Amino acid sequence: MGDGEAPADNQSSEIGRRIRAARARAGVTRKQLAAASGASERYLAHLEAGTGNPSVEMVWSIASALDIAPAELLPHGGERSVVEGEAAKLIRRLPEGLRTELLEWLRRKQEFGPGKEQRLALIGLRGAGKSSLGIALAERLKTPFFEMSKEVERLYGGDIATLIELNGQPALRRYEEQALNAICKSHRSAVIAASGAIVADAALFDQLLRSAHTIWLQASPEDHMGRVIEQGDLRPMGNSRNAMDDLRAILASRAADYSRADATLDTSAQVFGQTLDRLEEIARTLLT
């Protein structure tokens, strides 16, 4: 085989077909596309035949030369299914203003989820007080309390550390989704303590936001660290020199997602009793 040539496979063939179709729509010759993208005509010929090795950089260059999104050259638009790919394609072709309106509408639309009902979810980094405050709040509201990590372990039949070690993060997210669905299906009213990393799965976090009134429990990095250590977990101090810097970086990276909550409460601003009183006040306002 020649340089840049490889046996055809389904993915390469589909990318080649999409390049040919996009070039045809644009009315661009292979020679013109080669000049604009920096690829050789021979390499483009291999790509279009499905026998080339399409690198990420080259797909990006070809898409830029054709003035289309790189995802347009990927099978399903880079999505996991044909339906998702078609939906993403249509959204990408909307004017920016309409895309923003559509996103806001989707987030508000209750038909995509069970509705918030009388459920409350506490979100935030570990050590914010989700469990201790959640248990106390549930008692005041006379409603069940669920800690998603414990529900995951109950469904899995083992601890989360083993689940992740044997099956990876994707399995954890699947069990979290199952746990959330089970809670929402069986309880119209509940207080839920979500995992701190739930924001790492955009779809699952969106589902939580649709399924419960959410409150972001904030705390200072020092309080986060101290509370976790008080719980007997010394892992944050495993690399004490960088632990606080890492914690601040995590807080900063998740702040934008956490801020999508319906309300926010600083648990470092007052003592536990006062924080609980304020949390109850916020909760009853959201549930009214």
What residues contact residue 203 under an 8 Å CB cut-off, 6+ apart? none
In this structure, the answer to whether residues 88 and 148 fall within a common structural domain is no
Do 228 and 153 share a structural domain?
A: yes
* Average pLDDT for 226-248: 65
Residues 132 and 250 in one domain: yes
By the 10 Å C-beta count (0-12 exposed, 13-18 middle, 19+ buried), 185 is classed as exposed
HSE-CB of 2 using CA atoms within 13 angstroms = 8
DSSP string, 145-180: EEEHHHHHHHHHTS-HHHHHHHH-HHHHHHHHHHHH
Q: What domain range includes position 194? A: 114-287
Domain count, the chain: 2
**Do 36 and 173 belong to one domain?**
no
Residues 145 and 254 in one domain: yes
Per-residue confidence (pLDDT) for residue 8, from 0 to 100: 47
157: domain CATH number is: 3.40.50.300
CATH number for position 56: 1.10.260.40
Assigned domain for 208 exists: yes
Kindly state whether residue 53 falls inside one of the protein's structural domains: yes
Q: Does the predicted model carry a pTM greater than 0.95? A: no
Q: Are 267 and 218 in contact (CB under 8 A)?
A: yes
> What does the alpha-carbon distance between residue 121 and residue 207 come to, in Å, rounded to a whole number?
12
Q: At residue 84, does pLDDT exceed 80?
A: no
Same domain for 16 and 152, yes or no, is no
Residue 224 pLDDT class (50, 70, 90 cuts): confident
Verify that 82 and 142 share a domain, yes or no.
no
Give the pLDDT confidence of 25-68 residue by residue, as tens digits: 778 888 989 998 999 999 999 999 988 888 888 999 998 888 88
- Answer whether residue 146 shows pLDDT above 70: yes
With respect to residue 206, please indicate whether it lies within any of the assigned structural domains.
yes
**CA 56 – CA 107 distance, rounded (Å):** 32
